[in-house]
């Protein structure tokens, strides 16, 4: 049972490390592009709820 818990903790740590490293791939330009797309999508959907 103890080894199963250690394995689960190890898998969680590895997954967290993997996810954090992939978020840095975009760089400043990629984040700017993603932000611009998000702004457009939010602006178009917000108007539907406010009118």
User: What residues does each domain of the chain span?
Assistant: 2-50
Mark 12-34 as b/e (b = at least 16 C-beta within 10 Å).
eeeeeeeeeeeeeeeeeeeeeee
The pTM score is 0.42
pLDDT digits (tens, 9 = 90+) for 10-41: 898 888 877 765 555 677 888 898 899 998 88
pLDDT for position 17:
78
**How far from chain centre, in Å, is Cα 14?**
16
């Amino acid at each position: 049972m103890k080894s199963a818990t250690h394995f689960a903790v190890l898998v969680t740590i590895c997954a967290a490390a993997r996810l954090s490293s992939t978020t840095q791939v975009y760089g400043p330009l990629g984040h700017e592009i993603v932000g611009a797309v998000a702004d457009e999508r939010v602006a178009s959907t917000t108007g539907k709820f406010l009118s």
